Amino acid sequence: MMIIAMHPLLISSSQHWVPAWTLYLLLVILVPHSFIPLQKHHQNYRLYPRHPLSNPPSRKILINGTLSIPNANIKDRGQYFCLAENDHGSDKLIITLSVVAYPSRILEPKMREIKSYAGNTVELKCKAEGRPMPVISWILANRTQVMGQNTEKGRASVSAVGTLVIKYVSVYDRGHYKCIASNPAGADTATVRLQVVAAPPGIMEEKRQQLQAILGHSLQLPCTGHGTPQPGVHWVLHDGSMIQSNRPVIDTRISMYENGTLHIKDVTPADSGKYECIATSSTGSERRVVTLTVILQESAPQILEISKRLTELSYGDQLRLNCLATGNPKPRIIWKLPSKAVVDYWYR
């Protein structure tokens, strides 16, 4: 068998354009047992495939001669010199590497203002573009920083798309919030001025309500006020009088609970009318009006009083037979005489 020795030969392109992530430079050596040092121009290190421990941790030469650079960035661009040599000669190759990266750019206005009521949830958007995709972080009004995605700092958190979410905002949250979008190619910033104002009071129940109550029953009219600051609640009754919790009233049938509910015991027809609940705070007021109608409960007729079953009288005397009945609606009373005639109270 005859072995023909020959000098090494390298086959590879001379220029690479890659995005800013893991890079592989493929160097194909046609002759085995070649010695391949790789050197980056203007850098003080060399890479040796047979001595991996001596290579920088961010660089690796695979068994086939391919140079691997994980997470390539702008600093990795430049010319790479590959030398293949053995006892019969050498070959060399220079590869120019360009790392493609676009600086971060925030697509929102550089300065904007957002107004919110206290107690609400506020979302401050910060949409950005770049290559690689920028990482979004926020500097809060109190100078603390919320980094990365889906991180939380108290009531503040950053969503996966870079939106800053603040729950239950208060007047202490007002101020300037800075969004920072950054990638290896650069950074961009935008500022949001957050204004938080006290919310006007509100009432949870419907603002206007028609209500019927049955005569003699008890009734409760709820009125739940909410807001920041917490509003005070009072009622104006159908006759114009005002009632508040823990305040004495003339009509002891009517009272008000601390939660704003108006309680009326043993309602009468005189209780019919408009009842107005008013929630008031330093930021304004809200009203709720209930129109109450008192009705009689429908019931079947019932005879309460009758004359004696057997009644005697002298000839020529006047006959009076009682038949008192109740019911709702008012029942119709009919008498049937011995002559089979019918006498209707309504059609006498």
Alpha-carbon gap, residue 199 to 282, rounded angstroms? 10
In which order are the strands placed within the sheet that holds 254-256? 219-221, 262-264, 254-256
Cα separation, 12 vs 30, whole angstroms: 11
**Residue 235 pLDDT exceeds 80:** yes
Domains of the chain, by residue range, sit at 10-100, 103-197, 202-295, 300-347
Q: Which residues contact 332 (CB under 8 A, 6 or more apart)?
A: 344, 345, 346
Burial (CB count within 10 angstroms: exposed 0-12, middle 13-18, buried 19+), residue 317: exposed
| CA distance linking residue 64 with residue 37, whole number of Å | 13
Contact 57, 39 (CB under 8 A): no
Coil, strand or helix at 75: helix
The pLDDT tens digits of the residues spanning 291-307 come to 999 988 778 888 887 77
Closest CA to 308 of 291, 326, 320: 320
Domain 103-197 and domain 202-295, same fold? Reply is yes
Residue 307's Cβ-count burial label (10 Å; 0-12, 13-18, 19+) is exposed
pLDDT tens sequence across 180-215? 999 888 899 999 999 998 878 999 999 999 999 998
* Cβ-contact 130, 183 below 8 angstroms: yes
Per-residue pLDDT tens for 313-327? Answer: 888 888 888 888 888
Q: What architecture is the 202-295 domain classified under in CATH?
A: Sandwich (2.60)
pTM of the model as a whole: 0.51
Query: What are the C-alpha distances in Å from 165 to residues 144, 159, 161, 190?
Result: 15, 7, 11, 16
Q: CATH code for 103-197?
A: 2.60.40.10
Q: Once rounded to an integer, what is the mean pLDDT over residues 90-110?
A: 86
**CATH number attached to the domain at 10-100:** 2.60.40.10
CB 186 within 8 A of CB 132: no
Query: To the nearest whole percent, how much of the chain has pLDDT over 90?
Result: 37
Residue 283's pLDDT band (cuts 50, 70, 90):
confident
